Structure 1
């Protein structure tokens, strides 16, 4: 397996202009071992994370995530991993393949970037000619603001044999964009995506590039006050409640999709512990806010009413040295053993 992975790595530089890759393993994979994962690795089986969702719980052994600014790079790397290409970008590929060790259980594809959603508006759930031409995502706004992303250090496991690894949550979400664009006004979309203040002050220009590095939630009311006084809460407004020292705790890598002929979102998040993602999702649900105001569990509660979670899965991304079929509890490094002594 390691030989196959190195084959595609040697063909491209490790960057968005070349090829980026992660390899993750599920609780089902680690359940094959007699030993348990180390105590500091938080990797529970996936579960529904809201009272109104009923997702399929994904349990493949392994997930390989390939990403690039160039679609042909991802497609070529995929074929090489399956043994269908002898050379990749002029580099000879090894005989070893991922399909020597695994059967392919599922294949998910997607995109993110200026203009791509508008180019892919001919699927179910997308109103014709409504997606802004310069939007990087289906819902018409920029996402992943720099100051709304955790650092790699914050999401890395700090000690033990899996130090410098991380955990990954992957969900698939279908989107109801007909309602988002045809029933809601621009004012309502800004209020629900960001906060009522931003809508009233017309603080979001176009897709939100004018906001630069963050969504400026410090200018908005606390989510609880907005729920009671405005009757609507913004998605970003709710998410601002989940920060440590005013910094986020998850690193998002989500992207849009037309898998199954339906507008959707593959929400991929990296965090030190899966519990960090659960905490973040609970804030997004806003159940506590709905119980204390006229805001509904989904209606006027951020963007929940436009989304349906179909799949959830949890994975451990080991450090590079353990990325190929890791045991559940490998020996600690020499440095750690010396430190413990």
Structure 2
């Protein structure tokens, strides 16, 4: 039965449902709901289109900051709708020129159809376009005779899980697409176009077809942003304005590195990076058993108070308030207060300039039948070792017994995947040694 908008259901709730379901009928209904008018042809333009001049686009697939909505404080805001598409490679080894052209033509059609994020518009309040990237797993490169260059730190996900001593499932796919927009119909339209189910996308003819070389294995939609978790998740304790299920904003400007920090400057994949994609479960029942003051202390530091951060962390602006002194005094605070904050613990994994090692690109909230809530967590880093260092910093301090320790005890890792994100010029089925082809 076709999905139809129900005017009794709030628009945002309906859009989330449509993205979760997927398919052509969901796309049409989602366009109808978001455009607030009947849609005769889902292929007709409803959003700003992209540029014809591809040379004007960044070579880095992950160069998003200049195309994201920003808070008045300057903090970037993650798009409200996210979709991860996990795919298996079914083409030739090595890929043929025609197969690479099919992938590149499809991605260029997407770039023509939608502007890159906000289009670079200063002061934009909505991300009407699309931010996306494609990354390739170690399993994809294992199909080739040649190995990745020795400087590429991309272990398989099973190795990451083993080092973290987690009971999690490694992703067995060959690639992942990360799609982000404030509009669910943008994501649904791209998904349909990638796999040849529509021939026009936002008024642009779709060239190429992923289905000739990729088989879709799994799709994982998620939402983030003020008010979305409370509407998405069946948990009464979540503040109605909270941008995250645990109540507080994330991704402060000072807790994310510059994009250049996670980008390779040289080598055959210069302009690229690595992506780690995780599926997490969250124990919200236990988290919300604590009072607000305790939750603030465990999320940030014991020096932070509810008055300092506001209801959902908005009073902090772009600065989390985590300093080098916060890290230096961590053991002292743990002994004095019986608690150490997550942000302070994670800050132990910073470089000599006190800059974080990983750039978080999504912390999307999802329903999870096995947990009170779930999360799509993706991060960019110059090497997976930087993620491992950051994740290990979240664990308890070895020589201090703290009664409460950040948020790590409320998180369960379900799945992890590791991926190489090539520069745009190599994103279509790259070989492990593109400089030798």
Question: Does 2:392 align with 1:282?
Answer: yes
Q: What CA distance in whole angstroms lies between the structure 1 residues aligned with 2:247 and 2:141?
A: 39
Q: Under a length normalisation based on structure 1, what TM-score does the superposition of the two structures give?
A: 0.89
CA offset digits 1:189-233 (Å, max 9, x no partner): 10110011113x742211111111121123746222222222111
The aligned residue for residue 116 of structure 1 is 228
1:216 corresponds to: 321
3-state DSSP of counterpart to 2:385:
helix
Q: 2:269 aligns with which of 150, 153, 162?
A: 162
Deviation at 1:259, TM superposition (A): 4.8
Matches of 1:168 and 1:6, distance apart in 2 = 22
Is 1:196 the counterpart of 2:302? The answer is: yes
Task: Give me the CA root mean square deviation.
Answer: 1.8
Name the structure 2 match of 1:271: 381
**1:339 maps to which residue?**
none
1:11: which partner in 2? Answer: 113
Q: How many residue pairs get matched?
A: 319
Q: Is the 8 A contact 2:274 2:384 kept in 1?
A: yes
Separation in 1, partners of 2:165, 2:383: 24
CA contact (8 A) 1:26 1:314 kept: yes
* 8 A Cα contact 2:114 2:130, kept in partner: yes
Once the two structures are superposed, the pairs formed by residues 1-341 of structure 1 within 5 Å of their partners are: 1-15=103-117, 16-46=127-157, 47-48=160-161, 53-94=166-207, 96-122=208-234, 127-128=235-236, 130-181=237-288, 183-199=289-305, 202-218=307-323, 220=326, 222-244=329-351, 245-261=353-369, 263-286=373-396, 289=397, 291-295=398-402, 300-331=404-435
| Distance of 1:311 and 1:170 partners within structure 2 | 8
CA apart distance, 1:235? 0.2
The corresponding residue for 1:337 is none
Distance of 2:292 and 2:166 partners within structure 1: 27
SS of the aligned residue for 1:141 comes to coil
Match of 1:338 in 2: none
Instruction: Give the ranges of 4+ consecutive aligned residues of structure 1 lying more than 6 Å apart after TM superposition.
Output: none
SS in 2 for 1:107: strand
Unaligned runs of 5+ in 2: 1-102, 118-126
8 Å CA contact 1:161–1:332 kept in 2: the answer is no
CA distance in 1, matches of 2:233, 2:142: 41
Distance 1:156 1:202 in 2: 37
Please identify, of 308-317 and 38-47, the stretch whose mean Cα deviation from structure 2 is larger: 38-47
